[in-house]
């Protein structure tokens, strides 16, 4: 405990500058009070997209989006509104730039009376969000159950695809989540505007941890939390390369045995054909945030590098800063506060001292903090609760972390 207090005192001192070094020349998106759960994605032009939930009245929501380009965020626009959405801190909507003026977005829509009866709903825009396609559901099972934790990707044939957690084989239980096997599924758009038939990739995975997906020159790489018959919940990789899907394998054999889902997914990032992954684990009641690198397009990963301060909560994000370094972010508990923390890690295994990006409210309300980079500026977004809460964001120069 004494060592932990010394570490946190040092981190607090190092972070005093960082907490105040927001970059005023870059604007922040305009969001309403009470907004929730941002998702940030890069564009091919070097900008950003952000989606989030915003209240339309006391009970209804709208899914909003905005684009950051030319150092400014556009006025928020609506993708969908006033439907029966599933609004959740961990399984929230996303937006994705496919290329050119094509943008895709997804949300979760209630399909039945059960708390966790909801479907994945996807739309596309080919005119950069001026108009959106008719909403489609990528899974055709018709089961009223959990379908979510979506990650978009570009497949090896340059088609828009997505991977999700599919609860068609889960059975109802007293807690609403169900028991049985959660599956991992993927699909892509066909030649027209319809989805191809979905494909099952894994028939037993962790029930509610987010997924991640990236593509390199020669491989499509998906990451998720697996679940063994012995309740070991490692982070697994499944790849498509050379014309077929390879067998799933663990990034590292963490040996974390847990009877329930920790709601803590991995994050992949790529720079050309180098791949990195960040994840949370807690074997032997030792919470840990790890980063690992792959030099063979996800076919294997090197030994994990521990980057946390000994009390992480997880909810990681990960981006490449340059050809040799990544930045990981996560939530970490301190002696008296809860913080978004971030650190630079190099391919040679060196992890720099983490810095506090922002103090946040404890609990689930903060969701999954988001991080992306424009030029040499880092953009962070998260959710704050309370009467004056909502989506919060800030810019921090990369140099503040060195």
295-308: pLDDT as tens digits: 999 999 999 999 99
Q: pLDDT by residue (tens digit) across 182-194?
A: 999 999 998 878 8
User: 260: how many CB neighbours lie within 10 A of its CB?
Assistant: 12
DSSP helix/strand/coil, 282: coil
- pTM of this prediction? 0.94
Q: Is the pLDDT of residue 3 over 90?
A: no
245: left (phi over 0), alpha (psi -120 to 50) or beta: beta
Residues 338 and 313: beta-carbon distance below 8 Å:
yes
Rounded to whole angstroms, how far apart are CA atoms 30 and 137?
30
Q: Is the pLDDT of residue 328 over 90?
A: yes
pLDDT of residue 235: 98
pLDDT of residue 372: 98
For the ranges 32-41, 192-201, 304-313, which has the lowest average pLDDT? 192-201
* Two structure tokens written together for 189: 């758009």
Rounded to whole angstroms, how far apart are CA atoms 367 and 363?
9
pLDDT of residue 20: 54
DSSP helix/strand/coil, 67: strand
Rounded to whole angstroms, how far apart are CA atoms 144 and 303?
41
Q: What separation in angstroms does the CA of 210 have from each of 90, 93, 280, 329, 349?
A: 8, 12, 12, 16, 26
User: 175: how many CB neighbours lie within 10 A of its CB?
Assistant: 10
For range 289-293, the mean pLDDT: 98
Task: Name the nearest CA neighbour of 211 among 169, 268, 170, 250.
Answer: 268
Q: Which helix (H) or strand (E) holds 8?
A: helix 2-19
N-term to C-term CA, the chain? 27
- For residue 183, the enclosing domain spans 2-401
Residues 315 and 328: beta-carbon distance below 8 Å:
no
Q: What separation in angstroms does the CA of 125 have from each of 51, 212, 234, 374?
A: 14, 22, 36, 23
Residues 165 and 211: beta-carbon distance below 8 Å:
yes
Q: Which long-range contacts (CB under 8 A, 24 or more apart) does 290-294 make?
A: 290/252, 291/318, 291/326, 291/328, 291/345, 291/351, 292/251, 292/252, 293/347
Residues 239 and 184: beta-carbon distance below 8 Å:
no
339 forms beta bridges with: 332, 359
Q: What separation in angstroms does the CA of 268 have from each of 9, 81, 298?
A: 31, 31, 10
Q: Is the pLDDT of residue 345 over 50?
A: yes
Average confidence score pLDDT of the chain: 93
Rounded to whole angstroms, how far apart are CA atoms 278 and 164?
19
**Highest mean pLDDT range out of 225-229, 361-365, 386-390?**
225-229
User: 389: how many CB neighbours lie within 10 A of its CB?
Assistant: 16
Rounded to whole angstroms, how far apart are CA atoms 218 and 39?
27
E-strand stretches of 272-389: 274-281, 288-294, 305-306, 312-320, 325-333, 338-346, 355-360, 370-374, 377-384
CATH label of the domain that carries residue 334: 2.120.10.70
Rg (CA), the chain: 20
Task: Name the nearest CA neighbour of 339 among 92, 18, 21.
Answer: 18
Rounded to whole angstroms, how far apart are CA atoms 79 and 157?
27
pLDDT of residue 10: 47
Q: What separation in angstroms does the CA of 243 have from each of 7, 189, 238?
A: 49, 18, 14
pLDDT of residue 191: 80
For range 315-338, the mean pLDDT: 97
Would strands 118-125 and 170-171 be described as parallel, antiparallel, or unpaired? unpaired
For range 215-220, the mean pLDDT: 98
Q: Is the pLDDT of residue 339 over 60?
A: yes
**In which band, very low, low, confident or very high, does the pLDDT at 179 lie, cut at 50, 70 and 90?**
confident
For range 220-228, the mean pLDDT: 98
**In which band, very low, low, confident or very high, does the pLDDT at 14 lie, cut at 50, 70 and 90?**
low
**In which band, very low, low, confident or very high, does the pLDDT at 19 lie, cut at 50, 70 and 90?**
low
Helix/strand number for the chain, H first, E second = 1, 30
Count how many domains the chain has.
1
């Amino acid at each position: 405990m004494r060592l932990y207090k010394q570490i946190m005192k040092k981190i607090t001192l190092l972070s005093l500058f960082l907490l105040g070094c927001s970059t005023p020349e870059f604007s922040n998106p305009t969001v309403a009070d009470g907004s929730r759960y941002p998702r940030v994605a890069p564009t091919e032009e070097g900008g950003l997209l952000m989606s989030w939930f915003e209240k339309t009245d006391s009970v209804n929501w709208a899914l909003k989006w905005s684009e950051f380009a030319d150092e400014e965020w556009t006025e928020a626009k609506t993708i969908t509104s006033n439907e029966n959405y599933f609004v959740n801190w961990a399984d929230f909507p996303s937006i994705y730039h496919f290329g050119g003026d094509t943008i895709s977005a997804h949300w979760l829509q209630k399909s039945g009376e059960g708390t966790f009866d909801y479907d994945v709903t996807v739309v596309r825009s080919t005119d950069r969000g001026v108009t959106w396609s008719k909403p489609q559901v990528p899974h055709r099972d018709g089961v009223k159950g959990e379908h979510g934790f979506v990650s978009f990707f570009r497949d090896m044939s340059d088609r828009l695809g997505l991977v999700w957690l599919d609860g068609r084989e889960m059975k109802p239980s007293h807690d609403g989540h169900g028991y049985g096997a959660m599956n991992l599924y993927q699909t892509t758009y066909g030649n027209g505007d319809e989805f191809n038939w979905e494909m099952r990739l894994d028939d037993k995975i962790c029930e509610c941890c987010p997924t991640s997906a990236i593509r390199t020159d020669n491989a499509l790489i998906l990451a998720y939390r697996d679940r063994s018959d012995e309740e070991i919940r490692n982070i697994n990789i499944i790849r498509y390369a050379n014309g077929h899907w390879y067998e799933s394998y663990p990034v590292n054999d963490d040996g974390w045995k847990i009877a329930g889902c920790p709601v803590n997914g991995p994050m992949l990032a790529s720079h050309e054909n180098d791949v990195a992954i960040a994840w949370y684990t807690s074997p032997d009641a030792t919470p840990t945030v790890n980063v690992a690198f792959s030099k063979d397009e996800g076919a294997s990963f090197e030994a994990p590098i521990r980057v946390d301060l000994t009390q992480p909560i997880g909810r990681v994000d990960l981006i490449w800063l340059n050809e040799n370094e990544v930045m990981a972010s996560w939530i970490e508990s301190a002696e008296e506060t809860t913080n978004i923390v971030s650190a630079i890690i190099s391919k040679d295994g060196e992890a720099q001292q983490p810095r506090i990006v922002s103090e946040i409210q404890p609990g689930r309300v903060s969701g999954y903090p988001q991080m992306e980079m424009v030029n040499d500026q880092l953009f962070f977004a998260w959710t704050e609760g309370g009467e004056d809460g909502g989506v919060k964001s800030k810019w921090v120069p990369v140099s503040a972390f060195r």
